[in-house]
């Protein structure tokens, strides 16, 4: 009888349903947090996550937490950079009125006035909860993910749901226009925010601000959407398409992807290499990008919510 009881308890504790019930969620509580490869400050930064991003917590070592972002990317961050949520708490956040930061950089202050004490910085793409208190002197009351309350300039934020509904079906020109907002911004390995971004980070941020969550790395992004023949740059590549660089696959070795850019049309692309800049994909021009060989291209638009790697924010269960 005791053996049967132990087996029964084991089935309950370790069943998939039980594991799902034990899932712990959190919100990123700082403007941008680094995600480390291992729980150590000296470890490589593999990615970043921005304020208001819902993440799954999968482990803990000392004051480090392992987290998984909405697109499934894993890394480590410290306890000061996330706010743990119960299942009910996350549902309340999903139902609450939320705001997205639309300016490059703003401050959350304790009082609705310039020069007030600062609670936090925010960058474009951060998500804040709107407080029920009335707007004061052009400042909107907000609640940070860790529960602190403050104020932001009303002109610097927009309702999240309305923003994402408006951006639900972007054009290629929309993607390009967003990417061009970051022209001249610095390259940062693992970065995907206005504070600095790598090549796939620029792609991911540009699409997120247009309501679409992409996979994190260029080597992942090339496997999504509709594959395009990159041999005919002028004929096949449109604004918003992604073009990849690296080593093509052969009979003896696999494909290696080391860089990605966003096509602008007319043989041009915008990408993050040293800084966010515009180059030609056509050879023989003074502005040609000849650092690497083109290894493929894909079209993201038109493939939203048809595969796991291209999901609209509105349909991602962690956001709505």
Q: Which residues contact 252 (CB under 8 A, 6 or more apart)?
A: none
Identify the bridge partners of residue 214 per DSSP, sorted by sequence position: 310
What is the spatial distance between Cα 31 and Cα 225, in angstroms, rounded to a whole number? 30
Among 48, 124, 34, smallest CA distance to 78 is for: 34
* Beta carbons within 10 angstroms of residue 69's beta carbon: 22
**137 Ramachandran zone, left/alpha/beta (phi>0; psi -120 to 50):** left
Residue with token string 């962690």: 318
CA 299 to chain centre: 19
Tokens read off for 27: 């919100």
What is the spatial distance between Cα 97 and Cα 120, in angstroms, rounded to a whole number? 20
pLDDT at 292: 81
pLDDT at 151: 98
Tokens read off for 28: 């990123």
Whether the model pTM is above 0.85: yes
What is the spatial distance between Cα 103 and Cα 156, in angstroms, rounded to a whole number? 5
* Beta carbons within 10 angstroms of residue 232's beta carbon: 10
Tokens read off for 137: 């002197």
pLDDT at 87: 82
pLDDT tens-place values along the chain, 320 residues long:
433 343 333 443 333 433 344 579 999 999 999 999 999 999 999 999 999 999 999 999 999 999 999 999 999 999 999 999 988 889 999 999 999 999 999 999 999 999 999 999 999 999 999 999 999 999 999 999 999 999 999 999 999 999 999 988 999 999 999 999 999 999 999 999 999 999 999 999 999 999 999 999 999 999 999 999 998 999 999 999 999 999 776 777 777 899 999 999 999 999 999 999 999 999 989 999 977 899 999 999 999 999 989 999 999 999 99
What is the spatial distance between Cα 292 and Cα 199, in angstroms, rounded to a whole number? 13
Among 125, 127, 131, smallest CA distance to 148 is for: 131
CA distances from 166 to 120, 159, 175, 198, 223 (A): 28, 11, 13, 27, 27
Tokens read off for 193: 């925010």
What is the spatial distance between Cα 201 and Cα 188, in angstroms, rounded to a whole number? 9
CA distances from 308 to 67, 135, 215, 304, 318 (A): 19, 39, 9, 9, 14
What is the spatial distance between Cα 192 and Cα 185, in angstroms, rounded to a whole number? 11
What is the spatial distance between Cα 76 and Cα 68, in angstroms, rounded to a whole number? 9
Do 269 and 289 contact (CB within 8 A), yes or no?
A: yes
pLDDT at 10: 40
Please list the alpha-helical segments (H only) found in 181-311: 199-208, 218-221, 233-236
């Amino acid at each position: 009888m005791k053996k049967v009881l132990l087996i029964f308890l084991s089935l309950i504790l370790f069943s998939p349903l039980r594991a799902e019930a034990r899932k712990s969620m959190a919100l990123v509580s700082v403007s941008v947090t680094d995600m480390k490869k291992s729980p150590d400050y000296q470890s490589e930064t593999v990615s970043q996550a921005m304020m208001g991003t819902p993440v799954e917590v999968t482990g803990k070592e000392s004051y480090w937490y392992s987290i998984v972002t909405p697109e499934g990317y894993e890394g480590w961050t410290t306890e000061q950079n996330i706010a743990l949520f119960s299942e009910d708490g996350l549902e309340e956040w999903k139902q609450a009125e939320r705001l997205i930061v639309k300016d490059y950089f703003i401050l959350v202050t304790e009082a609705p006035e310039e020069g007030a004490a600062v609670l936090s910085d925010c960058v474009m793409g951060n998500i804040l909860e709107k407080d029920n208190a009335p707007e004061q002197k052009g400042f909107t009351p907000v609640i940070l993910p860790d529960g602190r309350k403050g104020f932001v300039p009303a002109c610097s934020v927009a309702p999240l749901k309305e923003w994402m509904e408006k951006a639900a079906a972007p054009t290629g020109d929309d993607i390009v226009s967003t990417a061009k907002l970051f022209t001249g911004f610095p390259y940062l390995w693992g970065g995907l925010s206005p504070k600095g971004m790598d090549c796939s980070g620029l792609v991911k941020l540009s699409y997120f601000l247009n309501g679409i969550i992409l996979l994190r790395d260029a080597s992942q992004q090339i496997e999504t959407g509709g594959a395009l023949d990159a041999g005919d740059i002028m004929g096949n590549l449109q604004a918003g398409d992604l073009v990849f660089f690296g080593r093509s696959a052969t009979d003896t070795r696999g494909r290696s992807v080391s860089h990605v850019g966003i096509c602008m049309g007319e043989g041009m692309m915008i990408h993050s290499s040293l800084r966010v800049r515009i180059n030609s994909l056509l050879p023989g021009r003074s502005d040609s990008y000849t650092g690497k060989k083109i290894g493929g291209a894909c079209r993201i638009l038109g493939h939203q919510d048809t595969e796991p790697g291209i999901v609209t924010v509105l349909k991602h269960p962690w956001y709505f």
